[in-house]
A and B are shown apart, each in its own frame.
Chain A
Amino acid sequence: DGGITQSPKYLFRKEGQNVTLSCEQNLNHDAMYWYRQDPGQGLRLIYYSQIVNDFQKGDIAEGYSVSREKKESFPLTVTSAQKNPTAFYLCASSIGGTAYEQYFGPGTRLTVT
């Protein structure tokens, strides 16, 4: 589990504000992912990146943006266009740019009021 960090653990924002969630890994993994989890729900893919300077939309990308300027970092911005941003956000990474053996960070719980 170690090697993937997300900060902060809890985040509170007012409606209409953009907010950026941090995800860092020191596992030398090529691929990184962002998921959203709502209470009692499964994991829904927001964005993923197989290599630096490249990323793809997942199933629910609307209202979110990402960047991948460094191998170690994959920040997620929740924009004001996201209609229901309150959720638990999980970052994950895997080696070799594949989906094999994805390991998750501890998550950030975002509350927007």
Chain B
Amino acid sequence: GENVEQHPSTLSVQEGDSAVIKCTYSDSASNYFPWYKQELGKRPQLIIDIRSNVGEKKDQRIAVTLNKTAKHFSLHITETQPEDSAVYFCAASSPNDYKLSFGAGTTVTVRA
């Protein structure tokens, strides 16, 4: 089955700086890569996703890049703000597997 590894496990950034989280996956057939944000005690929320037919996708201050050859994808948050502090999870899914495999999560802390 799919195995997703996520790094780093914790990330502390100064407000206004950028944050980057990287995930690698094992199944070359995987074609869907979502990112979720989870605030303390709350549900995970889908913030952005990318499919394997594109290399990059942006939505305001967040972007995701995908490198299919290297089997890794990354989340980029620019101009970080205190409300960006949360746990972020990456995930992957292949066409023949009707479920998501999640990374272990990255705790992002934005210092004011």
Number of interface residues of B (CB under 8 A): 18
Closest B-chain residue to A99, C-beta based?
B93
CA A33 to CA B32, docked complex, whole Å: 17
Taking chain B's interface residues, is the majority helix, strand, or loop, or is none over half, making it mixed? loop
> Which of A's residues lie within 8 Å of B, judged by CB?
1, 31, 33, 41-43, 45, 48, 50, 58, 90, 97-107
Do B104 and A42 touch across chains, with their CB atoms under 8 A apart?
yes
User: What is the total of A-B residue contacts with beta carbons within 8 Å?
Assistant: 49
Do B99 and A101 touch across chains, with their CB atoms under 8 A apart?
no
The residues of B that contact A97 with a CB separation of less than 8 Å are 98
Give 9 closest A-B pairs by Cβ, nearest first: A99-B93, A104-B43, A42-B104, A43-B102, A99-B100, A42-B102, A42-B105, A104-B44, A106-B43
Do A58 and B99 touch across chains, with their CB atoms under 8 A apart?
yes
Closest A-chain residue to B51, C-beta based?
A100
